[in-house]
Structure 1
Amino acid sequence: MATTIGTTGTTAEAVRMTAWVRGRVQRVGFRWFTREEALRIGRLAGFAVNLGDGRVHVVAEGAPEHCEALLRWLRAGDTPGEVEGVTEIWGSPRGGYDGFEIR
């Protein structure tokens, strides 16, 4: 596993959080706001992409607490549109991302 340096200066294992967000989440700026939140949280790499079935697929890699913060935001209701639910899985980071992007 990769390691990251947390905001407290401690070393933590990096994780990969993959989420599928369902509801009215396309054509409302959801991917843009997800990227902005990931940048606000900081030290996250990954992407947000629309899927053909109306969901948004979000992948974030970084410190567990940063990925958990993004997941909390996805579920909090402060997002554009209307989130009906979020399903996530956790795993090891794969790397290869240059920051957090919209696809």
Structure 2
Amino acid sequence: MSDQIICRRLRIHGRVQGVGYRMSTVHKANSLSLTGWVRNLPDGDVEALACGAPADVDALIIWCRQGPPAARVLSVDVDETSADPGLRRFEVR
């Protein structure tokens, strides 16, 4: 088993605000034992930072491409980023 931790920054485009996307993302991320955050952006997108085991981060990315039932995700941009050592949990910002 690997102790490797990766971090990815996600930008989710579509109808993703006002549909429970952030809280659903927190619940999914917590179920995967990830750290990071999720927040609404002024342009209507949602941004997230997810850190954890590679398979768990990948699972969250797959989930984000669909999101909660009321969301209509058009696309998800994913970028590698460095870890934030201050992260202890996954939260809404």
Q: TM > 0.5 between the two?
A: yes
Give the structure 2 partner of residue 3 of structure 1. none
* Cα distance, 1:72–1:90 mapped onto 2, change above 3 Å: same
Shift of 1:11: 2.5
* Cα distance, 1:53–1:78 mapped onto 2, change above 3 Å: closer
Gaps of 5+ in 1: 1-9
Return the structure number with greater relative CO, CA threshold 8 A, min gap 6.
Answer: 2
TM-score, normalised with respect to structure 2: 0.91
- Which of the residues 89, 98, 102 maps onto 2:88? 98
State the secondary structure of the residue aligned to 1:13.
coil
Runs of 4+ with >4 A deviation? none
Residue 63 (structure 2) pairs with residue 73 (structure 1): yes
Give the structure 2 partner of residue 57 of structure 1. 47
- Structure 2 counterpart of 1:24, which letter? R
- Structure 2 counterpart of 1:81, which letter? A
Distance in 2 (CA, whole Å) between partners of 1:88 and 1:74 is: 11
Give per-residue Cα distances to partners, 1:42-91, cap 9 Å, x unaligned: 2x10000000010000101111111000001011x252311010000013
Gaps of 5+ in 2: none
Task: Give aligned pairs, total.
Answer: 92
TM-score, normalised with respect to structure 1: 0.83
Give the structure 2 partner of residue 14 of structure 1. 5
- Structure 1 counterpart of 2:6, which letter? V
* Cα distance, 1:45–1:20 mapped onto 2, change above 3 Å: same
Q: Does the 8 A contact of 1:14 with 1:92 survive in 2?
A: no
